[in-house]
Amino acid sequence: MDRHAELAEDCRVRSRLSAGRYVYPVRSLTILAALLLLVACQRQELTPAQRLAAETSPSGVKVLLVGIDGATFSVLDPLLEAGELPVMADLIQQGARGVLESRKPSRSPALWTTIATGKSPREHGVKNFKLPPVDSDKRRPVLVSSIHRQSLALWNMLGPFGLQVGFLGWWVTWPAEPVNGWIVSDRVTHSRWIDWAGGFKDESLTFPPELANEVRGLVVDPNDPPMDEIDQLVELSDEERSELIASTRPIYGHWLSVFKFGYCSQRSYEKMALQLLDKGQPDLVGLFLIANDPICHTFWHFYQPEKYTGVEGEQAKRLGQLIPNFQRHNDRFLAQVLSKVDPDTVVMLISDHGFRASKRIPTPEEVEKYANRFDQMWEGAEEEGVVAVGQSGRHTLHGILIAAGGPIRKGVKTKAHLYDIAPTVLALLGLPVPEDMPGRVLEDIIEPEFLEQHPIRTIDSYESYLELPRVAIADETPDEEALEMLRSLGYIQ
């Protein structure tokens, strides 16, 4: 029965019930009430979203998106060839792979929001890590948050079709918006940017809000780092080990502290993901893994010492293992995740950009300078238009796409763009694909039978049917004056 018929039937049942329940004592009044209800039911107008849902039949496919910040085939391929990433190798063998083309400027919040919305940063409004200061402390910028996003994201789009979502740690998901399912926002743990911008939060961390109590217990404390795990990933000297343990916050360009905070953040979200998936698998799950990016930024000169001058051989030999070891770590985590989802799930591994050597290492003076002068570091990064200034690894425009499972074709090579992920996910779920997303559905990686059974249906825009949720945050929501300033600077429309 379609949704229209269901609604009509519901009205008929309610009419019958109210007509029958009080028949004897107040018969005439009851008949009048029943007639009024019937008229109201017949007049009941469906909202545009309900109408769209009534015309849509989801495919029943479940999708798992795993975002690995900065994953790059130049690092993965030698390990894949050596058989050291068995899970990823199996996904590639069973499915499709290709470069996921990124865009400039290469700023992770903008790129991950582009993946989730299918729109350009100009359109969705998340262009940078921060917005100009709108609070009384003019030196401190405001870290960009979900209240600044101007477009619907995948987690907003599924609910009206009765499908569930679960997103975890994804950039720019704080404050967590109400969804059909759950969101664990990106501010539950300490990350570089949260610490640098004072963005650590205690409210609206999750949806539903009570989920925060459950996941907080799984946060891996960087002040008590899991050294047994860290020792498995990289062979630190006694001095380096003590320095890593002693660091109390991530310091720009300081590889030990940046690695520790990135790793503890990712480990926290990994534990949360496994616990949440144990309770059931939403139709669309989005997991975000941060640590590869800070590790590649700060350890690349040990990984490819020949591209730098002055990198000492013995140290490079030990520390250069972290980048490959961390890919092995991610592969093992994937195995755990895959053991908890339906075997027919479409798994998509994606990254927002790739990495390469910058051929420049921050000088000890720079590290020292930025250690206690957050504002200078920030301005320095802004001037060069990249966050990687002075770091040994820098972004490239070549991210990764590996997709397998369900109706994904086997053994396909493709070429995709960040813009293509959202429309492809919608098509796989059997939902309408909006014409205002510039990307394409990656039909070349999908079985033709599936596309025949679930032809791609287009609509003009999800924004024509659904409203953007707004979560009010007391000390962050900009007032009218601040909004006007942001508009005049072109940060928002």
- 193 neighbors 129 (Cβ within 8 angstroms): yes
Nearer to Zn ion, 131 or 388 (CB): 388
- 266 neighbors 46 (Cβ within 8 angstroms): no
Distance CA 106, CA 398 (A): 11
Q: CA gyration radius for the chain? A: 25
Interface characters, 334-373, with Zn ion (x: CB under 5 A) = ----------------------------------------
DSSP state of 306: G
**Beta carbon of residue 88, minimum distance to Zn ion (angstroms, whole number):** 21
Distance CA 477, CA 475 (A): 6
Nearer to Zn ion, 258 or 401 (CB): 258
Question: Among the candidate windows 123-131, 293-301, 329-337, 439-447, which touches Zn ion by CB under 5 A?
Answer: 293-301
Nearer to Zn ion, 293 or 420 (CB): 293
Distance CA 429, CA 64 (A): 11
**Beta carbon of residue 317, minimum distance to Zn ion (angstroms, whole number):** 25
- With left for phi above 0 and alpha for psi between -120 and 50, is residue 306 left, alpha or beta? alpha
Nearer to Zn ion, 183 or 381 (CB): 381
Q: Which two tokens stand for residue 454?
A: 């679930």
Nearer to Zn ion, 182 or 300 (CB): 300
**Beta carbon of residue 318, minimum distance to Zn ion (angstroms, whole number):** 23
**Beta carbon of residue 108, minimum distance to Zn ion (angstroms, whole number):** 6
- Of all residues in this chain, which one has the CB nearest to Zn ion in the complex? 293
Residue with tokens 């200078």: 376
**Beta carbon of residue 110, minimum distance to Zn ion (angstroms, whole number):** 12
Q: Where are the beta strands (DSSP E) in 199-317?
A: 206-207, 284-289
**Beta carbon of residue 293, minimum distance to Zn ion (angstroms, whole number):** 4
Nearer to Zn ion, 62 or 107 (CB): 107
Q: Which two tokens stand for residue 398?
A: 């070549």
87-108 CB burial, b ≥16 within 10 A, e <16: bbbebbebbbbbbbbbbeebbb
Question: Among the candidate windows 274-282, 290-298, 317-325, 425-433, which touches Zn ion by CB under 5 A?
Answer: 290-298
Nearer to Zn ion, 177 or 293 (CB): 293
Question: Among the candidate windows 268-276, 288-296, 338-346, 413-421, which touches Zn ion by CB under 5 A?
Answer: 288-296
Nearer to Zn ion, 102 or 151 (CB): 102
Q: Quick check: 293 binds Zn ion (CB under 5 A)?
A: yes
Distance CA 100, CA 32 (A): 63
Distance CA 272, CA 228 (A): 20
# residues near Zn ion by CB under 5 A: 1
Q: Which two tokens stand for residue 17?
A: 């019930």
**Beta carbon of residue 164, minimum distance to Zn ion (angstroms, whole number):** 31
Interface characters, 241-280, with Zn ion (x: CB under 5 A) = ----------------------------------------
**Beta carbon of residue 269, minimum distance to Zn ion (angstroms, whole number):** 17
Distance CA 443, CA 456 (A): 10
- Name the site residues for Zn ion (rule: CB under 5 A): 293
